[in-house]
Amino acid sequence: MANSKRKCAFHGKRIRDYIVVNNMAFCSYEFAAKWGYANKAKGKKIKTKAFNKETKRLKETIKKRTGPKGFYANLATELHYHVKHVLRKGEACFTCGLKQRFEDSGQKFHIGHFIPQKSVDPRRFMLANLRIQCYSCNSHNSGMRAEYRKRLIEEEGIEHVEWLECEVNHKSLKERYPEVSDIKAEAARYRKLIKELS
């Protein structure tokens, strides 16, 4: 197989006699093997770089959703404000019955969660899970979960409470808000409700 126009894929010199490996011409099998090893390592580096870049991008996306200043945190702020100042304004503490007074500071009463608030728990944004609690019950006594459950059963019934407690009954936050724009739209909806009803 003589062809003076062929070049070796390994060192680029013109060759008369050659071997073909993967549709490329080489002087010998030795150079074909060297070329293969060199390009295999190069390919791995490129793949690793691309993988690391994609992993970093995904981590940033997750941080944007769940971080301390992420979109879920913004949605929680709007929702809690809506519950505290519009939906359940002036209600007494759900667990101990302490009444709100006009002169109380904004920090004296909180929004308590029956199911503890976790960053990706879908129930953290459910109105059925949120009630007014005083600072003492919510912060110092960890939400007084047993008392909270008892009062919730009296108010809503045992079936509702068991439904709320079962995690399988609720869509994940990623399913409820597949895009960041969905989370923003939900937060905007609560802002609009606050303006209309207050």
pLDDT tens for the chain, 198 residues long, are: 444 577 777 766 777 667 777 667 777 777 777 777 677 655 545 456 666 777 777 777 776 777 777 888 888 888 888 888 888 888 888 988 888 877 676 678 888 888 888 777 888 888 888 899 988 888 888 888 899 899 999 998 999 999 988 888 888 888 888 888 888 888 888 888 888 876
Same domain, 90 and 8: no
50 and 83 part of one domain: no
Shared-domain flag, residues 61 and 72: no
Asked if residue 131 and residue 40 are part of one domain, the reply reads no
Q: Which domain holds residue 146?
A: 68-197
| Pair 116, 139 in one domain | yes
Same domain, 79 and 23: no
Whether residue 87 is found in the same domain as residue 152: yes
C-alpha closest to that of 12 among 29, 31, 40: 31
Within this chain, do residues 101 and 76 fall inside the same structural domain, yes or no?
yes
| Number of domains within the chain | 2
- Cα separations (Å) of 71 from 46, 64, 177, 180, 195? 33, 6, 11, 7, 20
Domain boundary among 12, 37, 66: 66
How many helices (H) and strands (E) are present in the chain, helices listed first?
Answer: 7, 4
The single-letter code of the amino acid at 181 is S
Q: Are residues 74 and 58 in the same domain?
A: no
pTM greater than 0.85: no
- Are residue 62 and residue 76 in the same domain, yes or no? no
End-to-end CA distance of the chain: 89
